[in-house]
Amino acid sequence: MPDTSLTLISHPLCPFVQRAAIVLLEKGVSFSRIDIDLAAKPDWFLALSLTGKVPLLKVSQADGPDAVLFESMVICEYLEESQAGARLYSADALSRARQRGWIEFGTATLAEAWQFLNAKDRPTADAKQSAFRYRLQQLETVLVERPYFGGAAFGMVDVVFAPLFRYFDILDPTVSQPIFENLPRASAWRAALAARQSVIAAVGEDYDERFQLHLRQHQAIHAA
């Protein structure tokens, strides 16, 4: 393995950053983390980021210039391929393809959840809640093993869904409980992910307060 050091460039609330952080923590990789303000992006960040988005992973190499990776799943797959530790993708090609399909599903599900969380009016919130719950119902049919998506082993699909489910642990239970009602497998999966140490450590201790502040600033109807 080449001599490298890793820097994760992030924002405290970004769910895509959490993906990379969870993988780094699962693999026990030493890394540094720099948070930026996406509302006032520093020049040095804009010089590194072609998209102006986080996460970025800066890979310092002893035998060459720093490399900068962007897009969360590109970063996660680089870490999977380059770092030791528990494997997060299946060794079987068909199973691995299935995982990647559910990762795409997870990204679309995150979009539905985000629109629900940030809704400013009841009709929008109700429509997005229905769309999100429908995706949970689809998941319920495939979650036949526990505690994680693929059974006993924590994997890359779990990495993708953990930041999404985190939101619903922050909301008032009167909002989140009806969404997961009568979905015992999805609810158990959500609980297992919330208890995972890498998931807990992927965000700062003030994450809940920051997220509630975000909702209030955006006048979301679910803000506390």
Q: What is the pLDDT of residue 221?
A: 95
Q: CATH number for the domain including 166?
A: 1.20.1050.10
Task: Give the number of other CB atoms < 10 A from CB of residue 204.
Answer: 13
Of the candidates 189, 214, 184, which has an alpha carbon nearest to the alpha carbon of residue 102?
Answer: 189
Q: How many domains would you assign to the chain?
A: 2
Torsion over CA: 25, 27, 30, 33 (sign): negative
Its domain, for residue 58, covers 4-82
Q: In terms of domains, do 38 and 100 share one?
A: no
Task: Determine, yes or no, domain membership for 223.
Answer: no
Whether this model's pTM surpasses 0.85? yes
The average confidence (pLDDT) of the chain is 95
End position of a domain, from candidates 55, 82, 109: 82
Cα–Cα distance measured from residue 9 to residue 7, given in angstroms and rounded to the nearest whole number: 6
- Does position 2 have pLDDT exceeding 60, yes or no? no
Q: In terms of domains, do 110 and 213 share one?
A: yes
Enumerate the active-site residues.
Answer: 14
pLDDT digits (tens, 9 = 90+) for 162-194: 999 999 999 999 999 999 999 999 999 999 999
Task: Determine, yes or no, domain membership for 55.
Answer: yes
Task: Determine, yes or no, domain membership for 222.
Answer: no
Measured in degrees and rounded to the nearest 5, phi and psi for residue 84 equal -75, -175
End position of a domain, from candidates 82, 105, 127: 82
Q: Which residues contact 193 (CB under 8 A, 6 or more apart)?
A: 148, 158, 161, 162, 165, 199
pLDDT digits (tens, 9 = 90+) for 55-104: 999 999 888 889 999 999 999 999 999 999 999 999 999 999 999 999 99
Q: In terms of domains, do 144 and 108 share one?
A: yes
Q: In terms of domains, do 51 and 100 share one?
A: no
- What are the distances in angstroms from CA 146 to CA 96, 151, 155, 188? 18, 5, 12, 8
Q: CATH number for the domain including 62?
A: 3.40.30.10
Task: Determine, yes or no, domain membership for 127.
Answer: yes
Q: How far is CA 35 from the centre of its chain?
A: 16
